[in-house]
Structure 1
């Protein structure tokens, strides 16, 4: 049998804090002594927005905390009475803690549900914090630069980031160390979408035949009426992501635009547009990327909500 206690810290509430928690206990019958029974702490589930698992303390010891696997409790006249004593500490008066809901016959499947609900709540709180960071900080930095693909040289051996041609570009990119959203626009009308997609498909085919070369993102079967080539995101090190898009990354398993390998002969000109966010906004990146991709409808790249 499982018992679910919802514990409320009234003292913390009076001071404007929320440390409420759920404690799941599993009954351990003690046949040698019918007047007693023990309970094992099965799970500690945060409920309050400020709850920490180490917040709840065992009675008698200030530094003795509750952990899953602990055994507690006894039975007295059919009533389970030691729960408040269990949570109270020498410096934590009993009157400040309140058991405000008890659920008996709590099944293991319900525990899984409670664990999932707790996980969803924790994720929602993290998203809330990310939104607050975004509202407060917004876009930390923005940067745009053009690449004339016909001028791309062979940097497959020599480092491109310290080359005379691209040192300034990569020095700026390396100063952007936060999470980034970026999109790549096609500049001018000299190259059509059909030419671009055909060149990428030929590159894909030749890469498979040879068995090397970097991978391209998903190419849509139907060519879109858009002058945005790609939309992407990165949690950090935007400069390394751009390295892959230029086609100079040594790891052939990394997916990217690989511009050096197919766009050079087209004379394609592209503009990279980058927005850097505060680190606390990282969890929002997938949603922002999806909305930008939905608006710009890039020629390649898969995006899901």
Structure 2
């Protein structure tokens, strides 16, 4: 199997994440940002996905910002659940690795992967659903990100 043929890479800059007022806007409907993620609407299989930065230095900076968010806001009522501290992922440009289980072949009610990615980007009303929640703590960081998605 040719992995490059099925791997989808989405490049974006964190500071370009669209605003979302009362969850009326999210990346796959935003007129400007949707070009980054619209092909993910066709992925209706189990998928491996990961977020990466340009280099390990930027990934460390982003992980430090996530740790600061976690330390500063974890006791507040509006805290959004983010991944636990990753102590084993140093010296790499990878921020997060995930698996989305749920194929429409197995479960016809299953949604495509963009729903899970929107949670990681921070476009999900339920703050208790764990995800990177980038919009809520990294919106002002000017870092180039890449989302890699590979269905299996």
Show the counterpart of 2:105.
none
- 8 Å contact from structure 2 (residues 53, 59) kept in 1: no
**TM-aligned CA distance change 1:213 to 1:248, over 3 Å:** farther
Q: Which residue of 1 aligns with 2:10?
A: 145
How many residue pairs get aligned? The number is: 140
Which residue number in structure 2 is paired with residue 176 of structure 1? Answer: 43
Which residue number in structure 2 is paired with residue 210 of structure 1? 76
Cα gap change, 1:181/1:222 in structure 2, threshold over 3 Å: closer, same or farther?
closer
Cα distance 1:154–1:183, how it changes in 2: closer, same or farther (>3 A)?
same
Please give the alpha-carbon distance, in whole angstroms, between the structure 2 residues aligned to 1:170 and 1:145.
7
Any unmatched runs of 5+ in structure 1?
A: 1-136, 278-305
After TM superposition, list the pairs within 5 Å mapping 1:28-43 onto structure 2: none
Aligned match of 2:123: 248
Which whole-Å CA distance do the structure 2 matches of 1:251 and 1:169 have between them?
23
- Normalized per residue, the structure richer in helix is 1
Q: Over alpha carbons, which structure has the higher Rg?
A: 1
Q: CA RMSD in A?
A: 2.4
8 Å CA contact 1:156, 1:249 repeated in 2: no
Gaps in structure 2 of 5+ consecutive residues = 103-111
- Tell me which protein shows more strand as a share of its residues: 1
| 2-structure distance, mates of 1:189, 1:201 | 16
CA gap of 1:220–1:235, structure 2 versus 1, over 3 A, is: closer
Deviations 1:192-243 (A, max 9, x none): 61x2222111211333232223211111346611111111110242101110
Structure 1 match to 2:133: 258
Relative contact order (C-alpha < 8 Å, sep 6+): which is higher?
Answer: 2
Tell me the TM-score normalised to structure 2 length: 0.79
Partner secondary structure for residue 7 of structure 2: strand
> Helix, strand or coil for the counterpart of 1:210?
coil
